[in-house]
Structure formats: C-alpha cells, structure tokens
Amino acid sequence: MKTVYLQNYLVESYILIAMVVGTYLVVSMKSAVDILIKKRMVINMTLLLILSIAEFYMNYLKEQAMMGLPLIITSITYYSLKPLVMATAINMVEPKNKLIYIPTIVNFFFYCGAFLNVFYFGSDGKLELGLVRYTVIITNLVYWVIFLLILNMKFYRKADVNPLGVFFCITWLMTANIMESMGIRTGILIETYAVTFLFYYLVIHVYISRQVNEEKEIKLREQRVSLMLSQIQPHFLYNTLNTITALCRTKPKLAEETTIKFSRYLKENMYSMGENDTHPFSQELEHTNIYLDIEKLRFGDRVKVEYDIKSDDFNMPVLTLQPIVENAVKHGICKKLEGGTIKISTEKKGRDHIITIADNGIGFEIDKALNDGKPHVGIQNVNERLKSTVKAEMKITSLIGIGTTVKIIIPGERKNIRLESGERREILSIGR
C-alpha cells in the first residue's frame, strides 16, 4: 500500500521535483549571480519540497486513519512551514528586514499548542484543529498585505521599474492560493511558488548579465579614451604646433591648410571614443593620410609614402591603421638620416582582405622587442581590437637594416589565406 501511495506522489509531484532538482543544477553552475541569491534559491526550493512531502504524508495518515503523534507532528510541520514560503518570497524583495519572520514564528507557537491539547480527536476519530486552524490563513493574509505594501513602496520610489512581471507573479500566486483554498487542486500553490522562484532567479540572472555587459561596454569606452590619449602624444602636439607657427611667418596659406588638417586629425581621434567600433577602410586611410601630411611638413622628403589600394570595400576598427603607420614613421624611417618610404597596400584574397604596411626603415630584432620591458600599449591595443571587433589577425615581420612589414588579415565568411613564407621571422602583435 505504501508503495502505491509513493508512486502516486512521485507522479503527482513530478513537475515540482523536476523544478527542485533543476534549481540545484542551475545554481551550481558558474554565473555572475551572487552566491547569497543562489543559497536563498536552494533554501526556498528545499522548503517547498519538504512542504510537499509533509502534505503527502499528512494526507496518507488521514486516509489510513492513523491518528496519533505522527499525524500531529506532520500537521505542525506542514502548517508551521507553509507561511514561511511567503516570508521567503518577501525576503527576496526586502532582504535586510528580518521582522517579516515574526508572523511565521507566532504561527509556529500556535501550532505547537498541539502538545498542550489544543489539537484533539473528534468523535469520528478525525483530527480537529479548533480555532488554531485559522492561524495559517490569517498569517498568510498578513504576509500578503506586507508583500503588497512593500511592492507598492518600491514601485513608488522607482518609477522606471516595469511592474508587469511582478503583477504577473502576484496574479499567478493569488489564483493558485484561491484554487487550493477551494480544494480545486491540492498542491498547486507549492508548484506555483516553485515556478515563481525560478522566474525570479531568471530575471535576476538576466539583470546581472545586462550589468556585466554594461561594465564591459564601459571598459571598452575607457580603452577608447586611453587609445585616443595615446595617439595624441605631447611631443607630436608640440612639434605640430611649432611647425604651424613657423609656417605662419613664411607660408600663411600652408599654415592654414595644416591647421585644418590638424583639427581634422584631432576630431578623428575624438571620434574613436564614440559608440561606432568600426568604419570603412577609406575613412581610416583618410585619417592616416592627414597624419602623414603633417609629418611630411615636419620631415620633408625624409618621409615618402606609396599606395597600392586594390580593395577598400570593407570595414575595420577605428584608429587601427594610423598607429601602425605612426610606428613606421617614428621607429622606422625617421631613425635613418636619409629617411625612407612607407608603402600602404590592400588586396583581396578569396573573401578576405589583406592590408600591408611596409617600410624600409632600420628594422628591429623581435627577440629584443619581446623582452625590452616596455608595454607597447598602442600596438597591443590595436591587435586586441582587431581580434575582438572583426576577428582579424595581425602579423609583424622585421629585419635589421631592411625594414618592417605589418600584415592585417580581415577574414570574410571563411578564412583560407596562404601567406608567403621565407627566411624572415614572424610574430603576432608586438610593438616597437
């Protein structure tokens, strides 16, 4: 007989058991949700499972007419813990207020009066609760009033909160409460609480995930600001302004044009702090050309530029080409007395776009660059944004006395590029 009852319980409570076990598995997974919220979820779902088992066992004892201490203890456990579910629901909304457990404690002591003969068996042998049976109803009613007052105050303080989800949960719980009170379906209230707790956890998880994404976005903006500041070096500003000052005396028209170009250069750097992660290659090349025009004014024929643009119908991250070209000017060709040439070329192989920036400057030793103790923030920043934004690959090759070549491979829908191999050593993402 017990086996049949147990089978019936497992069948009737299958959904509840599945939700409880599912909750245990979900909260055990690594996530951004606070550990305290996870503990509350485990406690709440365990409480619902205990209530479900107590209700089943209490009904089993009644049907088997097994009146006595087991039934009294089971009844006390069930009716004492039932209001606690509502208290835990309020605690999730108002976690710092511990006074909400007072009605539950009062309700518990009322039912403990069973040991003082408040409970008794009637003439038909059934367990009679007397007036004490109404305490659980009154306690639940008190909790509903507290719950609605707290929610009303929270929505009053936070006008931007969308109340539809909470309204849905309250309506759901109230409907289940009425259905169980009327005896339409036993155990529906416990299952509804379980679904509500899971819904709450899902909302919290989504909310925290959104916060994490916002924090990542803030960090990305900070990176952009750092990049912008790193590109506007004090010595570059000083030298450019000195060049413009000198031109004002000898070539006023050229000084005016240089001032306009310099303002456009600064504007583009400020643009890098905006929300757009990428822009067309042609726009990035135009910004780089402004930088090169200013450097040509400073260094004259020592800076020569060649172009071989075969493809420009693609996007790339903001401020990724200019820092590489600046590296070629500062650390490559301008280290030579006679200067040198920078060649910027693009081509399309398959569906992928390849950008090449080559110079015939002094070159550098890769091993020394890797272990020189310098951060190389500019180039590393460029490489990280190329990878994260367009999943591009950057390769740098260099030989002392010959020069340096930087290749940026921006993949299309597939990535199947065969690069030329030679005796030159290659590394990923290293600045000079």
Tell me: the pLDDT tens digits for 285-300? 988 998 898 888 888 8
Co-location of 356 and 245 in the same domain = yes
pTM over 0.85: no
Residue with tokens 């994404």: 213
DSSP reduced 3-state for 332? coil
- Residue the block writes with tokens 């690069």: 419
On whether residue 208 sits in a domain, the answer given is yes
Looking at 215, 246, 274, the residue that finishes a domain is 215
Rounded Cα–Cα distance for residues 151 and 147 (Å): 6
Cα–Cα distances in angstroms (integers) from residue 232 to residues 71, 79, 376, in the given order: 80, 71, 15
Are 50 and 135 within one domain?
yes
Look at residue 307 and tell me whether its pLDDT is greater than 90: yes
| CATH code of the domain containing 280 | 3.30.565.10
What do you get for the CA distance between the two ends of the chain, in Å? 82
At 420, the pLDDT band (50, 70, 90 cuts) reads: very low
Tokens of 267: 């504007």
Residues 268 and 165 in one domain: no
Bigger pLDDT: 137 or 308? 308
- Do 203 and 273 reside in the same domain of the chain? no
User: How much of the chain exceeds pLDDT 90, in percent?
Assistant: 17
Check whether 347 has a pLDDT greater than 50: yes
Q: How far apart are CA 334 and CA 239, in angstroms?
A: 15
Strand partners, 278: 317
Tally of CB atoms within 10 A around 204: 18
Q: Answer whether residue 227 is part of any domain.
A: no
Give the position of tokens 């006595």. 68
Number of domains, the chain: 2
Is residue 224 in a domain? no
What pLDDT, on the 0 to 100 scale, is given for residue 405? 95
Q: Which domain does 296 fall in, by range?
A: 232-428
pLDDT tens digits for range 37-54: 888 888 888 888 888 888
Average pLDDT over residues 409-418: 62
- Comparing CA positions, the residue from 310, 315, 400 lying closest to residue 361 is 400
